[in-house]
Every structure is written in C-alpha cells, then in structure tokens.
C-alpha cells in the first residue's frame, strides 16, 4: 500500500510543469484533485491512515507532514517531545502537498487557497481496536508548500472528578447549581483545554436533562446524547462562524452553549450577550492565568466599549480554569491548574479595574475552591508526581513559587 501510494504521489508531482513555481504548485495540484479517481484517493487515505495508526501506537499527540520545515520527514510529538520518525515514508514537498489535498473536499480546497489556512477534522477506522478515531487537523502554507498538523482526539473522556477540582468549583460549573453564567477554560495551545471542556460536557450528559449546543472549529470529540441532548456544529461546515453559531443557538432552545474558542471581539461580545439572556456558556481562551484571561477579554474590544464590557463580564463570569500539561517524573504529563471562582470580592475587583488584586484572592481562597497555579504545582510536587525544577519552570509567578518551595 505504501509503495502504491508513493507511486501515485510521484506521478502527480511529476505533472507540475517547470514553469509553475512557488505557491502556484499547490494551486496546480489542487486543480488536479478534480481529476483524481476515487480509487487513488482511497490509496492515499490508506497511507494517511497508516501514518495515524503509527502515531496512535507510539502514543504520540501530534503528527507533522509536509512543508519546507519537515525536510521530507514525518515528525511525531511523543510525551511532549517532537522529532523525526524515521520508520515513516519520506515525502517531497510536492508529494506531501498532494497527500494533504487528497484529504480535503473541493470546497475546503477553495477555502485553503484563499485564506492560506484551514482547520478541519479527520476520522478513520483503526482496525486493531475496531473503532473510529478522530483527529483535529490544520493545514497551512510553509514556504509555498502545504504543511499539515494533526492532533489525536482522545476516544475516551476523563471523568470530571479525575481532574481533581474542589467540590465548590464543580458546583459553580454545574448547570443545575447555577443556571446561567460564563465559565472559561484557558491555557496555551496543547494544554488540554478541549479535553477539560469535554469532561464538563460529559459530566452534564450523565445526569442533566438539558440541551447542549457545541460550536467548535473543528469538532473534536463527538458526544452521544445520554441524559442531555447534544448538538455539534462545526465552523465552516455546519455554521459560517463562531459568532453566527452563538447567535443562531439562541433560536435553538439551548440550556448550555459551548463555544470552542473566543478568538475575536465579535465572538466575545456574542458570548457575553448570550450569557446575559440566561444561558450557561463554556468557552476557551489562549491565556495562561485567570487575571490575564479577564484582562484579555476586556482588551480585545473597542476602547469605547471596554467599561461596559468590564461591568458585563463581572456580572456573568462564574469560573476561570487556567491549565497546563506538565511533565511527570515517569515521562508522561499531568494537569496543573489555576482555579478562580467569582465571589463578590472578585466581581468588585473586575468592575473597579483592579484585577491585580485577584491573585491574592486566589491565594487566600482555598476554602472556596480557588487555587493559584503555584499552589497546584506545589501539590503535585508534594505528591512526588513532578520535580522541583518542573514546578519552577511551569509557574506563572516564579518569585511566589520559590517562596512556596522554601516554605515546604
């Protein structure tokens, strides 16, 4: 199968005329996708599925294919470390571009050529476990050729109680305890935000007779409706944008709306407005601390609107979980988190533009279910799950972490 796929890729690469240069090579190959027989696409999908099967067997979280940067190799990230995987085929930039294009629909190819980037999802049947596996994918241009990142989506959801939240934090995120409000899960790329959101969704799905609408780009884990009715709307396939998905959700009788990412001012404003209407909203941000998350939301909107947004955010914000995946002593990774629960004092600090006061509220809020990143890293260190060096490396506040280490 690999040899046959390589022959197909080489044939299409050889079709590129010498006069076609730069990004026009991708456009030329994209045009040839219209003529590619279905049997050849199936063979190329088989090659991609072989790469993904290897990725699963090696317990890799990500795979990189194509682009100038890979130097022809396929790269895997295994337990946080990304490196060439020499057991997988070597692909030229044109061959890799052809393979990536073969995974896309014609509409997706059009979008890619215009926007130079495309998020999508990919599913294949993993024969060894006799089940379908899903991957979050992003393809983009790297020095005029196509590159692809695929991230494995866990086929199993971790129970919410395994994430070791304080009962008060779980209650605050519980739709039955607080019917409306905004709960954020934040962190850098690859910090497990989506997995935490899926745990929250699954938690409600096991007992709450409600309607959950998930708007994501792309949809990662697909939930089966149990106690809850769950809808999945993928941006670019089922809805045009996050903002449109949020606005349309208001007419779909939801109880909980999950917004995959608040990535622009329009989505942020739509999320605040839909929360104001009495819905429970969960979303993510690319920030590393609770206070940074609050400041980021306010800074994203027009300065004229910032005072109004600050007051609205203070009224609707319920919890902020800022998380990191940190390496453990056994070479794997575990969740470290900062948890903010919006008490009247926190609400006042947001309204008065005194977010710098919130850190001390986190430090002193342990009985209410709060904790700083540094406190949770210290907990993991005391449990001998991480090293002291790791605790200091991943701390947001290095000075505070050193103080905690001395005190312990």
Query: What tens digit of pLDDT does each residue of 260-291 get?
Result: 999 889 899 999 989 988 899 999 999 999 99
CA distance 339 to 257: 21
Query: Do the domain assignments include residue 392?
Result: no
Print the domain residue range for 198. 160-371
CB 136 within 8 A of CB 220: yes
Rounded to the nearest 10 degrees, how much is the dihedral formed by the CA atoms of 101, 243, 298, 338?
A: -70
Rounded to the nearest 10 degrees, how much is the dihedral formed by the CA atoms of 370, 375, 377, 383?
A: -100
- Please give the C-alpha separations between residue 294 and each of 147, 217, 273, in angstroms, as whole numbers: 34, 23, 16
Q: Are residues 184 and 137 in the same domain?
A: no
CATH of the domain at 233: 3.40.50.300
Q: Are residues 331 and 190 in the same domain?
A: yes
Q: What is the pTM of this model?
A: 0.80
Q: Are residues 289 and 358 in the same domain?
A: yes
Q: Are residues 279 and 173 in the same domain?
A: yes
Cβ-in-10-Å burial (0-12, 13-18, 19+) of 399 comes to exposed
CA distance 277 to 85: 51
Q: Where are the alpha helices (DSSP H) in 19-166?
A: 24-32, 38-57, 93-102, 106-115
Residue-level pLDDT, tens digit, the chain, 408 residues: 788 888 989 998 898 998 988 889 999 999 988 889 989 999 999 999 999 999 999 989 899 999 999 999 999 998 878 999 988 999 999 999 999 999 998 889 998 999 899 988 898 888 888 888 889 899 999 988 999 999 988 777 899 999 999 999 999 999 999 999 999 999 988 898 999 999 999 999 999 999 999 999 888 888 999 999 999 998 878 888 889 999 999 899 999 999 999 988 989 999 998 998 889 999 999 999 999 999 999 999 889 999 999 999 999 999 999 999 999 999 888 999 999 999 999 999 999 999 999 999 999 999 999 999 999 999 999 999 999 999 999 999 999 999 999 876
pLDDT in tens, 198-215: 999 999 999 999 999 999
CB 216 within 8 A of CB 245: no
Tally of domains in the chain:
2
CATH of the domain at 76: 3.30.450.90
Q: Are residues 230 and 290 in the same domain?
A: yes
What integer pLDDT is reported at residue 408 of this predicted model?
66
């Amino acid at each position: 199968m690999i040899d046959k796929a390589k022959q197909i890729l080489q044939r299409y690469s050889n079709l590129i005329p010498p006069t076609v240069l730069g990004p026009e090579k991708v456009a030329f190959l994209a045009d040839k996708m219209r003529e590619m027989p279905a049997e050849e696409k199936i063979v190329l999908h088989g090659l991609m599925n072989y790469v993904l099967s290897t990725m699963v067997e090696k317990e890799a979280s990500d795979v990189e294919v194509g682009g100038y940067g890979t130097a022809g190799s396929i790269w895997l990230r295994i337990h946080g470390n990304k490196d060439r995987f020499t057991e997988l085929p070597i692909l030229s930039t044109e061959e890799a571009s052809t393979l990536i294009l073969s995974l896309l629909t014609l509409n997706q190819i059009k979008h890619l050529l215009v926007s130079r980037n495309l998020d999508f999802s990919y599913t294949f049947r993993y024969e060894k476990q006799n089940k379908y596996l899903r991957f979050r994918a992003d393809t983009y241009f790297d020095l005029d050729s196509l590159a692809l990142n695929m991230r494995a989506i866990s086929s199993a959801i971790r129970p919410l109680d395994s994430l070791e939240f304080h009962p008060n934090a779980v209650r605050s995120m519980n739709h039955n305890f607080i019917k409306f409000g905004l709960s954020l899960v934040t962190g850098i790329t690859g910090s497990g935000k989506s997995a935490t959101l899926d745990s929250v969704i699954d938690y409600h799905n096991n007992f709450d007779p409600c309607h959950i609408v998930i708007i994501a780009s792309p949809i990662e884990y697909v939930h089966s409706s149990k106690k809850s009715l769950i809808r999945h709307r993928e941006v670019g396939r089922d809805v045009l944008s996050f903002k449109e998905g949020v606005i349309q959700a208001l007419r779909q009788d939801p109880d909980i709306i999950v917004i995959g990412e608040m990535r622009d001012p329009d989505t942020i404003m739509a999320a605040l407005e839909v929360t104001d209407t009495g819905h429970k909203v969960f979303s993510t941000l690319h920030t590393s601390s609770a206070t940074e998350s609050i400041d980021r939301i306010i800074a994203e909107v027009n300065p004229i609107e910032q005072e109004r947004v600050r007051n609205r955010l203070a009224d609707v914000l319920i919890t902020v979980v800022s998380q990191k995946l940190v390496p453990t002593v056994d070479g794997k990774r575990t969740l470290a988190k900062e948890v903010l629960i919006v008490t009247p004092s926190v609400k006042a600090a947001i309204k008065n533009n005194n977010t710098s006061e919130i850190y001390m509220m986190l430090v002193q809020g342990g009985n209410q279910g709060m904790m700083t990143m540094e406190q949770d890293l210290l907990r993991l260190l005391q449990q001998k799950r991480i090293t002291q060096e790791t605790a200091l490396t991943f701390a947001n506040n290095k000075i505070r972490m050193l103080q905690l280490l001395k005190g312990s």
